[in-house]
Amino acid sequence: MSQEKMVEIQNLYVNFYTQSGVVKAIDGVNLILYKGETFGLVGETGCGKSVTANSVMKLIPQPPGKIERGRIFFMPPGGTEEEMQRIQEQMNELRSKPDLPKDDTQLKKLEKEMAEQRAVADITARWNVLWKQPASPERDAKISELDRELYAILNKYDLIPRTKKYMQKIRGKYISMIFQEPMAALNPVFTAGFQISEVLLLHERRELAMSALKSVEEEKKYLKTHKLAKKIKDVKGENKCSICSSAVQDEMERCPNCDNYFKAIPLKPLKTMSLSYTAAKLKRVKKNPYSFINKRLAGRRIKLESMERAERMLRLVRIPDPQKVVNSYPHELSGGMQQRVMIAIALACKPQMLIADEPTTALDVTIQAQILKLMRELQEETGTSILMITHNLGVVAEICDRVGVMYAGVIAEVGPTGPVFKEPLHPYTQGLMNSIPKVNIDLPRLETIEGNVPNLIKPPGGCRFHPRCPYAMDICRKEKPPMMEIRPNHLAACHLYTGVTF
């Protein structure tokens, strides 16, 4: 698993202002999702899993919701050797090209990115040295200064202060989301192909124009180099090509031997001129695809190209007969196929991050297995990071590299899936694991976590789990426990481990 950060959430607080009072839905969440990993976020209903995901997408309805404070960094520079080596390889590849222009914008962008990575690495190294020194006002002042330097670099990667227009460019292109109920998320009055192509037309118009231009140029070349053939019947009544005399079938449009068209193209010079005019329009769209005028140029060709890509996406998500499904409406599809269409929409632009909010809840067990296998295969092909939100611990155990356990708007425990399931640290995680029936143990009754989920309008003070915790102490009622690394890469927020090392 890569150590490059995809998303880093720091001290996130989200409230909802209702008539009954202020719902403190998210209370200081800290979370990191790395590139190429699958991170599982589990917890009871109403604990804040979906609110956390919607905060990353900035889809919190305002009002009544409001992100009070916090930072959500998307693809921030981490200053790791892995990141700098990757950028250096890209720079070397560009510089090795003989036709590289002096003012190459891509090379300048990589050089700027490399400078940011080195600055972050330098600040992190100095911060680590200072943190090991004995506590003193001078040390704390230097650490605060380094924090300000670091945030000055990272500020432009923070999604929270970004505008709605900027987030529209991010959603679907770099961060996509699969919602829990596909029939509620899909538009019932548009076909599956239209809804997939809509994302492509919004984010990849330039790529569509380039692909359409390539097909137009190939068609022009074909018209110039190939003759128009005819099907001639011989003595035996069989069809033959008028140019090479090869035997052909009635349904064939081209000769299998000389590749010439049997279909007559009237006014061939006019057809060539029309293709040249279309190519000129596509070149304009390629240069500036999102201008008001260029959006309407060669629209038919670009839409045809987008529908072809939509069909390829349906084939990629293993939908049978994609030629038919691309023209089908959501109500004509089964639940599993609707979910696959949603996955196709989410992955159409090959996003860097995929948020899957209960993607298998409404499906039967066999379809669940197919969807999970599909997501794993697509992740291997595209390298997408996945944030899997689910209640199903079996799903987490099967596909997730790391898992985070949420309770009442806070993160209780984070760690690799194996250690968290084998030796959970937080009492809430222990309760969840003990409530799972075990094949090798005969119990008269399953263990349960006593009590109810707290009302987040008036949440309990200190640790929010203490009213239901069997190990609650006085400090649990007074102070909120900090997130501590108890084992390597295994963190828990619990006063039981204060000052304890394993």
Q: Among 295-299, 304-308, 315-319, which range has the highest average pLDDT?
A: 304-308
9-24 pLDDT, tens per residue? 989 999 999 888 899 9
Q: What is the CA radius of gyration of the chain?
A: 29
CA distances from 306 to 219, 267, 467 (A): 18, 29, 55
Beta bridge partners of 385: 353
Omega before residue 256 within 30° of 0, cis: no
3-state secondary structure of 224: helix
Q: Are 353 and 6 in contact (CB under 8 A)?
A: yes
235-277 pLDDT, tens per residue? 566 777 776 777 777 667 677 777 676 665 555 566 677 777 7
Outline which parts of the chain fall under CATH 3.40.50.300: 5-75+396-497
Q: Say what the pLDDT of residue 502 is.
A: 46
- What is the spatial distance between Cα 235 and Cα 275, in angstroms, rounded to a whole number? 40
pLDDT at 130 over 70: yes
Q: Among 297-311, 374-388, 484-498, which range has the highest average pLDDT?
A: 484-498
Average pLDDT, the chain: 82
Residue 91, token pair as written in the block: 């720079």
Percent share of the chain, pLDDT over 70? 88
Q: How many Cα atoms occupy the beta-carbon half-sphere of 344 within 13 Å?
A: 29
Strand order in the sheet with 353-357: 175-178, 353-357, 385-389, 38-42, 402-407, 410-416, 490-492, 484-487
Span 62-72, average pLDDT:
88
Which residues make Cβ contacts (< 8 Å) with residue 305, sequence separation at least 6?
Answer: 208, 211, 212, 215
Q: How many Cα atoms occupy the beta-carbon half-sphere of 176 within 13 Å?
A: 23
Q: Are 327 and 195 in contact (CB under 8 A)?
A: no
Looking at per-residue pLDDT, the higher value among 286 and 471 belongs to 471
Which among 495, 432, 484, 426 is positioned nearest to 462, based on CA atoms? 495
CA distances from 145 to 115, 142, 155, 178 (A): 20, 5, 15, 41
Q: Which H or E run contains 120?
A: helix 105-132
Q: Say what the pLDDT of residue 405 is.
A: 92
Q: Are 10 and 358 in contact (CB under 8 A)?
A: no
Which among 336, 354, 438 is positioned nearest to 393, based on CA atoms? 438
Residues 5-75+396-497: name the CATH superfamily: P-loop containing nucleotide triphosphate hydrolases (3.40.50.300)
Beta bridge partners of 239: 233
